[in-house]
A and B are shown apart, each in its own frame.
Chain A
Amino acid sequence: MTKLRYERPIISKINAGVPDKFGMKTSVETLNQIDTVPVKDILEQYGSPVFVVSEPTIRKTYEEATSAFTSRYPKVQFAWSYKTNYIDAVCRVFKKLGSWAEVVSGFEYQKALNNGVPGNEIIFNGPDKSDEDLKLAIQNLSLIHIDHFDELYTILKLAETSYKRPKVAIRVNMNTGIYPQWDRFGFNYENGEAWQALNRLMYSEKVDVVGLHTHIGTYITTPNAYAVAISKLAELATSLKKKFNHAIQYIDIGGGFASKNTLKGAYLPGKDTCPTFDAYADAITGALMSANFAPNELPTLIIESGRALIDDAGYLLGTVLANKRLADGRRSTILDIGVNNLFTSFWYEHEVLPVETTTQQTEDTTLYGPLCMNIDVVRAAVQFPLLQKGDQVAIRRVGAYNMTQWMQFITFRPNVIMIDEEHNTHIIRKAETNATFEAQEVIPDYLKS
Chain B
Amino acid sequence: MNKPKYTIAITGLNNTDNPGPGVPVIRALRSAKSFDVRIIGLVYENLEPGIYMENVADKVYQIPYPSVGSEALLNRIEYVNSIENIDFLIPNFDAELFTFITSQTRLESLNIKSFLPTKQQFEEREKEKLVEFGEKYNIKVPKSKSLTSVNDVSKLRDDFDYPVLVKGKFYDAYIAYNSEQVIGHFNKISSKWGLPVIIQEFIKGTEVNVIALGDGRGNTIAAVPMRKQYITDKGKAWGGITLGDETMLDITHKLIKNTKWRGGMELELIKNNEGDYYLIEINPRIPAWVYLAVEAGQNIPEALIQLANGEDVAPFTKYDIGKMFVRYSYDLIADISQFEKLSITGEL
Q: Which residue of B lies closest to A180 (CB)?
A: B148
Contact B67 A267 (CB under 8 A): yes
A439 at interface, CB cutoff 8 A: no
Stretch of B95-103, B177-185, B204-212, B276-284 at the chain-chain interface: B95-103
Q: Which of B45, B79, B123, B132 has the most CB of A within 10 A?
A: B45
Contact B64 A19 (CB under 8 A): yes
B68 at interface, CB cutoff 8 A: yes
A17 at interface, CB cutoff 8 A: yes
Q: Which residue of B lies closest to A271 (CB)?
A: B69
A265 at interface, CB cutoff 8 A: yes
Residues of B within 8 A of A269 (CB): 67-70
Chain A count of residues within 8 A CB distance of the other chain: 23
Contact A268 B99 (CB under 8 A): yes
Contact A24 B95 (CB under 8 A): no
Contact A20 B343 (CB under 8 A): yes
Grouping DSSP codes into helix (H, G, I), strand (E, B) and loop, the A interface class, with mixed when no group exceeds half, is loop
Contact A17 B46 (CB under 8 A): yes
- Least distance between A147 CB and chain B CB atoms (Å): 21
- From B46, B68, B102, give the contact of A14 (CB < 8 A): B46
Complex Cα distance, B347 from A269, in Å, reads 26
- From A23, A177, A179, A272, give the contact of B69 (CB < 8 A): A272
Complex Cα distance, B95 from A24, in Å, reads 20
Complex Cα distance, B344 from A267, in Å, reads 26
- From B68, B95, B344, give the contact of A23 (CB < 8 A): B344
A26 at interface, CB cutoff 8 A: yes
Contact B102 A19 (CB under 8 A): no
Contact A24 B69 (CB under 8 A): no
Complex Cα distance, B205 from A436, in Å, reads 71
Mark interface residues in A343-355 (1 if CB within 8 Å of B CB, else 0): 0000000000000
A273 at interface, CB cutoff 8 A: yes
Contact A268 B64 (CB under 8 A): no
Q: Which residue of A lies closest to B68 (CB)?
A: A269
Mark interface residues in A262-280 (1 if CB within 8 Å of B CB, else 0): 0001011101110000000
Complex Cα distance, B148 from A20, in Å, reads 39
Contact B66 A19 (CB under 8 A): no
Residues of A within 8 A of B322 (CB): none
> Of residues 127 to 147 in B, which have CB atoms within 8 Å of A's CB atoms?
129, 132, 146
Complex Cα distance, B92 from A396, in Å, reads 33
Q: Which residue of B lies closest to A21 (CB)?
A: B64
A18 at interface, CB cutoff 8 A: yes
- Least distance between A218 CB and chain B CB atoms (Å): 14
Asked, given contacts A268-B67, A271-B69, whether A19 binds B95 with beta carbons under 8 Å apart, the answer is no
Q: Which residue of A lies closest to B79 (CB)?
A: A25
Complex Cα distance, B342 from A154, in Å, reads 71
Complex Cα distance, B342 from A19, in Å, reads 9
A372 at interface, CB cutoff 8 A: no
B44 at interface, CB cutoff 8 A: yes
Asked, given contacts A22-B344, A24-B346, whether A272 binds B102 with beta carbons under 8 Å apart, the answer is yes
A181 at interface, CB cutoff 8 A: yes
- Least distance between A173 CB and chain B CB atoms (Å): 13
Asked, given contacts A18-B45, A269-B68, whether A180 binds B195 with beta carbons under 8 Å apart, the answer is yes
Q: Which residue of B lies closest to A279 (CB)?
A: B119
Contact A272 B346 (CB under 8 A): no
Mark interface residues in A151-164 (1 if CB within 8 Å of B CB, else 0): 00000000000000
- From A24, A265, A267, give the contact of B62 (CB < 8 A): A24
Q: Which residue of A lies closest to B341 (CB)?
A: A23
Mark interface residues in A19-57 (1 if CB within 8 Å of B CB, else 0): 110111110000000000000000000000000000000
Q: Which residue of A lies closest to B96 (CB)?
A: A268
- From A16, A24, A179, A273, give the contact of B64 (CB < 8 A): A24
Contact A23 B343 (CB under 8 A): yes
Contact A179 B195 (CB under 8 A): yes
Residues of A within 8 A of B343 (CB): 14, 20, 22-23
Residues of B within 8 A of A26 (CB): 64, 72
- Least distance between A328 CB and chain B CB atoms (Å): 22
- Least distance between B331 CB and chain A CB atoms (Å): 15
Contact A20 B69 (CB under 8 A): no
Residues of A within 8 A of B95 (CB): 267
Complex Cα distance, B85 from A172, in Å, reads 55
Contact A25 B346 (CB under 8 A): yes
- Least distance between A404 CB and chain B CB atoms (Å): 26
Residues of A within 8 A of B102 (CB): 272
Complex Cα distance, B67 from A18, in Å, reads 13
Q: Which residue of B lies closest to A17 (CB)?
A: B45
- Least distance between A410 CB and chain B CB atoms (Å): 31
- Least distance between A41 CB and chain B CB atoms (Å): 28
B19 at interface, CB cutoff 8 A: no
Residues of B within 8 A of A222 (CB): 123
Contact B146 A179 (CB under 8 A): yes
> Of residues 26 to 83 in B, which have CB atoms within 8 Å of A's CB atoms?
43-47, 62-72, 76, 79
Complex Cα distance, B66 from A376, in Å, reads 28
B273 at interface, CB cutoff 8 A: no
Contact A16 B46 (CB under 8 A): yes
Contact A19 B99 (CB under 8 A): no
- Least distance between B253 CB and chain A CB atoms (Å): 27
Residues of A within 8 A of B195 (CB): 179-180
Q: Which of A177, A222, A268, A269 has the most CB of B within 10 A?
A: A268
- Least distance between A281 CB and chain B CB atoms (Å): 17
- Least distance between A221 CB and chain B CB atoms (Å): 10
Asked, given contacts A26-B64, A181-B148, whether A272 binds B99 with beta carbons under 8 Å apart, the answer is yes
Complex Cα distance, B148 from A177, in Å, reads 12
Complex Cα distance, B346 from A24, in Å, reads 6
- From B47, B69, B132, give the contact of A16 (CB < 8 A): B47
- From A17, A22, A273, give the contact of B47 (CB < 8 A): A17
- Least distance between A209 CB and chain B CB atoms (Å): 31
> Of residues 80 to 138 in B, which have CB atoms within 8 Å of A's CB atoms?
95, 98-99, 102, 123, 129, 132
Contact B148 A19 (CB under 8 A): no
Complex Cα distance, B18 from A17, in Å, reads 14
Q: Which residue of B lies closest to A26 (CB)?
A: B72
- From A19, A23, A180, give the contact of B44 (CB < 8 A): A19
Contact A23 B70 (CB under 8 A): no
Complex Cα distance, B275 from A91, in Å, reads 64
Residues of B within 8 A of A180 (CB): 148, 195-196
Complex Cα distance, B346 from A177, in Å, reads 43
* In the complex, the 4 A-B pairs of residues with the closest C-beta atoms, listed nearest first: A23-B346, A269-B69, A179-B196, A180-B148
Q: List 27 A-B contacts (CB under 8 A).
A: A16-B47, A17-B46, A18-B46, A19-B44, A19-B45, A19-B46, A19-B62, A19-B64, A20-B46, A20-B343, A22-B343, A23-B344, A23-B345, A24-B64, A26-B72, A177-B129, A180-B148, A265-B194, A267-B66, A267-B67, A267-B95, A268-B98, A269-B67, A269-B68, A269-B70, A271-B69, A271-B70
* A interface residue numbers (CB < 8 A to B): 14, 16-20, 22-26, 177, 179-181, 222, 265, 267-269, 271-273
Told that A19-B64, A20-B344 touch, could you supply 11 new A-B pairs with CB distance under 8 A?
A: A14-B46, A16-B47, A19-B44, A20-B46, A23-B62, A23-B347, A24-B76, A267-B67, A269-B70, A271-B71, A272-B66
